[in-house]
Copies of this chain bind each other. A is one copy, B any other.
């Protein structure tokens, strides 16, 4: 039985344009590395091997929050030590906290011979998200743990559905500015027009059908958000210019990743995704804002075991 495991826990993009709070997908990279060891002493201890200076007290740490929730359902004589090496910047909008929480619970479950289901793991990891943002949301965790595109049909009770998807290539723009999830949530209107909601659910149904039918044109037509994006895009400089140049370069569509500031664009092939990256770099250079871009595919595996001993 392995006593130590190292996992790669990927970035994820929540919302997928029209699926606010319900859809998400996993990226290949960037990803965090976590090494988890079983100990005989109840509790969680964490060491950081990066420069983000995240808290080490388990109750205030995303990894700690997730693993303490798991420990609540474990017998005595089990504890975890975690070495965390993050490359996904906190606050980037591509599921940095989810990667920490998901990696920790998947690794721990591996050391426990997989006694928990994926749904259990999401449930534990939601306590990590609560530490990060105060909200027990699962829209980044589900794709990180299940891989691919996931639907949270319901959060309470938790009901996660994997949505089969064709190959899709992702270009991510990460403007190096801060958008707090709590702010991005506060500016949303609590009430929306029924007629706008009906437009939105037409697009959500179209996106799910398009993914499952591997109909790229339908996916493209459905990547429209009339509710959240018009508000949140205010927080992201040159958002519409970025999308316009991406579509011109051949992208199927895209939008804000989670609550931003990262933006993702989907393409049908790697070559187009590269062209989109070039177009975005050219366009965003004009803003004077520092930024990074990433190229990725949709990651159908989720958190992966890198090695164990």
Contacts and interface: CB of A to CB of B under 8 A. Distances in A.
A192 B192 CA distance: 5
A204 B201 contact: yes
A91 B210 CA distance: 34
Number of copies: 2
Interface in A207-239: 207-210, 212-213, 218, 221-222, 227
A194 B190 contact: yes
Nearest to A222: B153
A206 B161 contact: yes
A203 B203 CA distance: 13
Contacts of A209: 151, 161, 163, 208, 212
A197 interface: yes
B151 A227 contact: no
Interface string A231-259: 00000000000000000000000000000
Contacts of A199: 154
A205 B208 contact: yes
Interface string A178-203: 00000000001111111101111111
Contacts of A19: 201, 205
A116 interface: no
Contacts of A210: 161
Interface in A109-139: none
Which of A190, A192, A195 gathers the greatest number of chain B CB atoms within 10 Å? A192
A205 B201 CA distance: 8
A153 B190 contact: no
A141 interface: no
Nearest to A224: B154
Contacts of A195: 190
Interface stretch (A20-28, A50-58, A82-90, A167-175): A20-28
Interface string A70-89: 00000000000000000000
Contact of A208 (B18, B159, B194, B208): B208
Nearest to A163: B209
A99 interface: no
A192 B194 contact: yes
Contacts of A191: 191-194
A152 interface: yes
A289 to B, nearest CB: 29
9 contacts: A19-B201, A20-B198, A152-B202, A153-B203, A154-B202, A154-B221, A161-B210, A163-B205, A204-B204
* Shortest 5 CB-CB contacts between residues of A and residues of B: A153-B206, A197-B197, A191-B191, A22-B202, A208-B208
Given A153-B221, A163-B205, 7 more contacts: A22-B201, A22-B202, A153-B218, A153-B222, A201-B201, A204-B205, A205-B208
